[in-house]
Amino acid sequence: MALDAAQGSRLAGLLGDHAEQIVKRWADSVAVSLRGRLSQAELQSQVRELHRALLVALEGDGRELHAESAGELRAVLSELSRSRARRGFTATETAVSVFALKDIVLETMSAGGGAEQNLRDFVAYSALIDQLGLFTFESYAKAREELIADQAEQLLELSTPVVKLWEGVVAVPLVGTLDSARAQVVMERLLQTLVDTGSPYAIIDITGVPAVDTQVAQHILKTVVAARLMGADCIISGIRPQIAQTIVALGIEFGDIATKASLADALRHVLKLTGVDAARRNARRES
Amino acid sequence: MTAGLGLGRPQTQAIVGDEDVVRVRQLVRTVAVAAKLSLVDQTKLVTAASELARNTLVYGGGGQVEVTTVDNGRRQGVRIVFTDSGPGIPDLELALTDGYTTGGGLGLGLSGARRLVDEFDIQTAVGQGTRITVTKWSR
Ligand SMILES: Nc1ncnc2c1ncn2[C@@H]1O[C@H](COP(=O)(O)OP(=O)(O)OP(=O)(O)O)[C@@H](O)[C@H]1O
Ligand SMILES: [Mg+2]
């Protein structure tokens, strides 16, 4: 598909003979397209590495990107894409670093003469460089997806704190979408905190949840049942009027679970309960 | 198409993964705000859309949703169409019964969604798929 053997060795010769000049012109050309957002030294070393890996591939059987001897070339391209993705460059800006080689090769070739063979060679070299460029697109997209997944996971961690509100009272303020993954995290955190603090009360605050559907409701109900099994009572707070009406229309029943409009109401409710408990205990001691 | 019913440009969203259910909710919320639905009606419609989108994903094996603003000359509203090419619903009356579930849910999604909207229509055929159209009008 890409190069025949003779073309492969001619390209290797070209890249090898004019190595210094090619690396320099290549780095300069990429620098222009990235408008100085990477240092010249860093660009030079990236381009030099690409150049070296490409030579290694061509000197082996690597006239196609998936060839055995092109392994290092693939690794260098992936690493380039990953680092560009992490530093906020676009996929185009990443691929351009590779495509720039075309102009440099064309320049170097036209300086040599031999028009007809050159044309055929250049078309073949172009196809190879296209392969390399497209490969960076794929690696770039993959790197971005990983980044996003990482961030989503971090968000997952960040947005489910369990706080101790009062002696014997912990609270989980839920913000955003309560999907199955987050619900699992919330439940585990809450149960662990109940164990760690020995709290008999937990307040689940849903002020920051934009919509309570059957899935969210089911996750909350499961959490409440699990907490109960551990001897803790849950109160659901932050039920805004529009959410209350929607829950009723959906037909969701929270049974005997206490629900309050605000976190403050929930805390007051718990303190009243514990106050009664304490008073009872005191009363018993006195009698 | 019904005469005198003004339609906006439909916006579509494919439903292939969990994150698409979130996208459907956000899309419906945006359109509902633009159609000047009240906060309560927005929340009801978004919740109904969440239920139907998840059913499309879980039981329909994925599909797509189309959200359009509609105008009947007196009121503005939002119409949402959910389409899948899944197994279809063999017994519609049963599926619309509160508490009926084949998937370990609460069994309130379909029946609840019907109560949350103003118009609700299901076309379903076993082995061919399901198409649910809901509309909510501004008050
Ligand atoms: N698009 C669909 N294609 C095929 N079957 C469906 C579809 N939507 C719903 N059903 C069937 O109807 C039943 C009832 O749906 P419903 O949404 O009310 O309950 P559920 O999804 O099981 O639980 P949940 O309360 O969490 O929504 C489902 O269990 C399923 O068998
Ligand atoms: Mg459902």
CB atoms closer than 10 angstroms to residue A266: 26
Overall domain count for chain B = 1
A210/B46 CB distance under 8 A: yes
Measure in Å the smallest separation between the Cα of A211 and chain B Cα atoms: 6
Judge if the beta carbon of residue B120 lies within 6 A of ligand 1: no
pLDDT in the model for residue B4: 47
B116/A249 CB distance under 8 A: yes
A242/B40 CB distance under 8 A: yes
A214/B112 CB distance under 8 A: yes
pLDDT in the model for residue A1: 43
pLDDT band at A131 (very low <50, low <70, confident <90, very high): confident
Please indicate whether residue B129 or residue A286 has the higher confidence score (pLDDT). Answer: B129
- pTM score above 0.80: no
What ipTM did this prediction achieve?
Answer: 0.89
For residues B62, B101, A184, A168, the Cα torsion angle rounded to the nearest 10 degrees is: 150
Among A156-165, B55-64, B71-80, the range scoring the smallest mean pLDDT is A156-165
Is the pLDDT score of A286 beyond 60? Answer: no
Show the 3-state SS of A68-79: HHHHHHHHHHHH
Which tens digit of pLDDT belongs to each residue from A70-119?
Answer: 889 999 999 999 888 888 888 888 898 899 998 888 888 887 766 777 78
Judge if the beta carbon of residue A180 lies within 6 A of ligand 1: no
Is the pLDDT score of B110 beyond 60? Answer: yes
Mean pLDDT of all residues belonging to chain B? 93
Cα gap A44→A49, rounded to integer Å: 9
pLDDT in the model for residue A201: 95
Any B CB within 8 A of A148 CB: no
* Burial classification of residue B105, based on how many CB atoms lie within 10 Å of its CB (0-12 exposed, 13-18 middle, 19 or more buried): buried
* The token pair that represents A43 in the structure block: 């660009």
User: Could you tell me which chain A residue has the CA closest to the CA of B104?
Assistant: A218
**Contacting residues of B for A246, CB less than 8 Å apart:** 40, 43-44, 47, 116
What is the Å distance from ligand 2's center to B86 Cα?
14
Any A CB within 8 A of B23 CB: no
- Secondary structure (3-state) at A136: helix
Q: Domain spanning A5-152: which CATH class is it, in words?
A: mainly alpha
Is the pLDDT score of B18 beyond 90? Answer: no
* Burial classification of residue A111, based on how many CB atoms lie within 10 Å of its CB (0-12 exposed, 13-18 middle, 19 or more buried): exposed
Any B CB within 8 A of A215 CB: yes
Please indicate whether residue B107 or residue A62 has the higher confidence score (pLDDT). Answer: B107
Is the pLDDT score of A277 beyond 70? Answer: no
CATH code for the domain of B75 = 3.30.565.10
Show me where the domains of chain A are located: 5-152, 163-286
Which tens digit of pLDDT belongs to each residue from A169-208?
Answer: 999 988 877 777 778 888 888 999 999 999 999 999 999 8
Is the pLDDT score of A284 beyond 80? Answer: no
**Contacting residues of B for A212, CB less than 8 Å apart:** 47
pLDDT in the model for residue B1: 45
Q: A163-286 has which fold? A: Transcription Regulator spoIIAA (3.30.750)
**Contacting residues of A for B54, CB less than 8 Å apart:** 213, 215
pLDDT in the model for residue A199: 93
